Structure 1
Amino acid sequence: MFELSEEHRAIREAVRAVCEAKVAPHAAEVDERAEFPQAAYEALAASDFAAPHVPEAYGGAGADALATAIVIEEVARACVSSSLIPAVNKLGTMPLLLDGSEELKQRFLSPVAAGEAMFSYCLSEPEAGSDAASMRTRASRDGDDWVLDGVKRWITNAGVSQYYTVFAVTDPDKGSRGISCFVVDKDDEGVSFGAPEKKLGIKGSPTREVYLDKVRVPADRLVGEVDGGFGLAMRVLDHTRVTIAAQAVGVAQGALDFALGYVKERTQFGRPVADFQGLQFLLADAGMKIEAARQLTYAAAGRSERGDADLTFFGAAAKCFASDVAMEVTTNAVQALGGYGYTKDYPVERMMRDAKITQIYEGTNQVQRIVVARQLLDGVQSRL
């Protein structure tokens, strides 16, 4: 029987305590004002939960993939916008962890671990979403530098993050095999940002375009090999889809927890509404599906930590399943509260809006099903 280690249970207790004291109290206001959750960032950074995955060699806590997933799950249980702090820090730094030089890691991971900077990931473009290989951002060699020109869209925490891993075309004749990855600093000349997107949910996490106008980047900020960027981007997503699955589990659990408390107190026809079988079935389905999603997410996290050959299957399956569960559970939590669930006086309507994005970013669930199907056709399940 699977059981969390004592260390992992302690991490859950610690991050839950931080979230209950410093994150959850600000969640509604962060959503209402569409402001970056600075108080949550400061609290998470002070507790080594803003980027727990950064190895100890670079000043980080060195949390494994499962511990990082637990951190993100617990933060999302309180505030999904805030959970994008550790989640996007991992997404942005993962290219360096997989393929970066030691110099790059020392230079850029240490400030993130210290809570002095955040890291975002720039893959998508206005005409390159699910079809990332059709990106148009160019990187041209000029002596010892690369010069980047283009626009990146849907960049989470853009403008707040100090650093960005940017994917750009270095050889347009090679298609997906002509893309490279670079580290860009927001203080580099030529970097600017669009207006924040007006979104359905995760309003406290800014989503903006990143404009690159002849941004000159030293050659030592290339991540991995020239023209090796697309494969790197896909490997990164194999790992970080696990974090989105954890985020989805967290918001689903938060919605169920609130609904459970509400239905035990709310009375109709002279009895708590929790006594009615129709509502009990809704709650039972939520509990079962959340736990199934959690176990699949933790299994995927273990494979991420080990770099197992079947990580692609598990990462996509966990992200797809958990996010579908999150959308179902949060919607049903609104239903459980009836008319009150539809108001901003209660958090479940925010959780429902926040949950929706987990079905879309880091690969839509339609794309995840394509990935899973290809893995099955390739025989991955027969090797489990």
Structure 2
Amino acid sequence: MTLLLAAARAVGVEVAAKHAGDVDARARFPREAFAALKKQKLLGIMVPKSEGGPGAGIAEVVSICHALGQYCASTAMIYAMHQIQVSCVVRHADKNAWHRAFLKKLAMDQLLLASATSEAGVGGDVRSSVCAIEEKGGRFSLSKQATVISYGANADGILVTARRTPQSPASDQVIVVALKAGYSLDEQGKWDTLGMRGTCSNGYHLKAAGRMDQVIATPYADVSAQTMLPTSHLVWSALWSGIAVDAVARARAFVRAEAKKKPGVAAVGGWRLAEAASLLQLMKSNVVAALRQYEAALGSEDKLSALPFAVAMNNLKTGSSQMAVQVINHALLICGLSGYRNDSPFSVGRHLRPASANGSSRRAAT
């Protein structure tokens, strides 16, 4: 176990797990967990050493997402979404002086990054934008009706997709790194949902302004195919497997508790526990295989942009989300009423709801 992973596990055990129930019940941002993650300097781990960070790779991030998922789903999800944005800046900032300075600040101040890719009027297609960058005198301004900006009110910066110019077609998109001091958020709707409650994924009317240097020159289509989507599929799959790990652990604890009550009697649900453990192992193996495939493709734009690679990464996320639901359902069946109750040490409701939301939605297939 690396020092970074050990630090993340400590945050999970000592902080995230203690507040996970309240975060879920009140649909609030997991502020305690992120204060601890910032203190341990775990938000800027992907920043290169040349810019003041530890230069951790995607494998380290995947491991941390898996670990955090075992303690608080919302914390793991927000951490994963943040690292997706960081990876985009790290891989596509090139030699842009502004972005390099931004990465140094991110590592030093442990900034939390959100994203604004969804938008009203495009039918859920994140590869199309209505809003556009308006340039004047080396500065930009934009206005976006974002249907979702997860943890937007708690972020220190937002990566915003927009058309390159007001004359550009909807598909000609770029990413702008908007700083908190340079944007405003007008909340358009509350986030009161079945799962993913602590992500606080409200809708906002976003207005941003700043220097044109803040625009990532690489087309969003390339950033998405080569970095954003594969990273997203890997970290989400990892955290889902982490959520499933804790559900299985609770089911195993339930079986042991029942066995102690009835010595010498075969544990009810033992066979189902074995099946859940087998599915869980398959989930982990799929993540590891996809991670190796991604690491092998890094450095080759052709491989990263190839259709077979995109299909493989998408299959990972879709399969992982569905298997997570199956594993947690097994845990619920094993624990019975104890798993159904919210006040039970064997409760798996907080595990099942976010997994179900992703396993049955378009999010898992895009």
TM-score clears 0.5: yes
Tell me the distance in 2 between the aligned counterparts of 1:204 and 1:177. 32
Tell me the distance in 2 between the aligned counterparts of 1:289 and 1:175. 44
Q: Of the candidates 322, 325, 328, which is equivalent to residue 323 of structure 2? A: 325
Task: Please give the secondary structure, in 2, of the residue aligned with 1:201.
Answer: coil
Uncovered stretches (5+) of structure 1, i.e. residues with no partner: 1-6, 368-384
Q: Of the candidates 231, 237, 243, which is equivalent to residue 229 of structure 2? A: 237
Q: Residue 175 of structure 2 aligns with which residue? A: 181
Instruction: Show CA shifts across 1:292-314 (max 9, x none).
Output: 11121122223333435264243
Q: Residue 42 of structure 1 aligns with which residue? A: 35
Q: Of the candidates 138, 150, 153, which is equivalent to residue 132 of structure 2? A: 138
TM superposition shift of 1:345: 1.0
Q: Of the candidates 208, 212, 217, which is equivalent to residue 219 of structure 1? A: 212
Q: 1:296 to 1:34 in 2, by over 3 A?
A: same
Instruction: Show CA shifts across 1:172-200 (max 9, x none).
Output: 66545421211112322544343441121
Q: Residue 314 of structure 2 aligns with which residue? A: 316
TM superposition shift of 1:27: 0.9
Q: Of the candidates 337, 340, 363, which is equivalent to residue 339 of structure 1? A: 337
Q: 1:256 to 1:111 in 2, by over 3 A?
A: farther
Contact 1:170 1:178 (C-alpha < 8 Å) held by counterparts? yes
Counterpart code for 2:250? F
TM superposition shift of 1:356: 2.5
Counterpart code for 2:216? V
TM superposition shift of 1:122: 1.3
TM superposition shift of 1:218: 1.3
TM superposition shift of 1:340: 2.0
Task: Please give the secondary structure, in 2, of the residue aligned with 1:35.
Answer: coil
The alignment status of 1:105 with 2:99, answered yes or no, reads yes
Q: Residue 194 of structure 1 aligns with which residue? A: 188
Task: Please give the secondary structure, in 2, of the residue aligned with 1:266.
Answer: helix
Q: 1:175 to 1:354 in 2, by over 3 A?
A: same
Off by >4 Å, runs of 4+ in structure 1 = 10-14, 171-174, 267-274
Give percent identity, aligned residues only: 21
TM superposition shift of 1:54: 2.6
Q: 1:15 to 1:134 in 2, by over 3 A?
A: closer
Counterpart code for 2:238? A
Contact 2:174 2:215 (C-alpha < 8 Å) held by counterparts? yes
Task: Please give the secondary structure, in 2, of the residue aligned with 1:117.
Answer: coil
Counterpart code for 1:126? A
Q: Residue 82 of structure 2 aligns with which residue? A: 89
Which shows bigger deviation, 267-276 or 230-239? 267-276
Q: 1:115 to 1:266 in 2, by over 3 A?
A: farther
TM superposition shift of 1:160: 0.5
RMSD: 2.6
Q: 1:249 to 1:202 in 2, by over 3 A?
A: same
TM superposition shift of 1:152: 1.3
Contact 2:4 2:42 (C-alpha < 8 Å) held by counterparts? no
Corresponding pairs, count: 354
TM superposition shift of 1:254: 0.9
Q: Residue 374 of structure 1 aligns with which residue? A: none
Q: Of the candidates 260, 281, 293, which is equivalent to residue 303 of structure 1? A: 293
Counterpart code for 1:254? D
Q: 1:63 to 1:181 in 2, by over 3 A?
A: same
Q: Of the candidates 120, 131, 137, which is equivalent to residue 126 of structure 1? A: 120
Q: 1:43 to 1:273 in 2, by over 3 A?
A: farther
Contact 2:134 2:166 (C-alpha < 8 Å) held by counterparts? no
TM superposition shift of 1:82: 0.8
Tell me the distance in 1 between the aligned counterparts of 2:297 and 2:270. 40
TM superposition shift of 1:261: 0.5
The alignment status of 1:283 with 2:273, answered yes or no, reads yes
Q: 1:304 to 1:156 in 2, by over 3 A?
A: farther
The alignment status of 1:166 with 2:157, answered yes or no, reads no
The alignment status of 1:78 with 2:68, answered yes or no, reads no
Tell me the distance in 1 between the aligned counterparts of 2:96 and 2:204. 27
Q: Residue 356 of structure 2 aligns with which residue? A: 356
Tell me the distance in 1 between the aligned counterparts of 2:240 and 2:183. 37
Contact 1:331 1:352 (C-alpha < 8 Å) held by counterparts? yes
Instruction: Show CA shifts across 1:130-153 (max 9, x none).
Output: 522332122222231222122112
TM superposition shift of 1:366: 3.8
Tell me the distance in 1 between the aligned counterparts of 2:89 and 2:59. 20
Task: Please give the secondary structure, in 1, of the residue aligned with 2:210.
Answer: strand
Q: Residue 56 of structure 2 aligns with which residue? A: 63
Counterpart code for 2:56? A
Instruction: Show CA shifts across 1:186-238 (max 9, x none).
Output: 3225443434411211222211223234x32311111124xx22332333112
Q: 1:115 to 1:350 in 2, by over 3 A?
A: farther
- After TM superposition, the score normalised by the length of structure 2 is 0.87
Q: Residue 25 of structure 2 aligns with which residue? A: 32
Counterpart code for 2:352? M
Q: 1:141 to 1:300 in 2, by over 3 A?
A: same
Tell me the distance in 2 between the aligned counterparts of 1:49 and 1:348. 28
Tell me the distance in 2 between the aligned counterparts of 1:249 and 1:115. 30
Tell me the distance in 1 between the aligned counterparts of 2:115 and 2:98. 16
Q: Residue 365 of structure 1 aligns with which residue? A: 364
Counterpart code for 1:256? V
Which shows bigger deviation, 258-267 or 69-78? 258-267
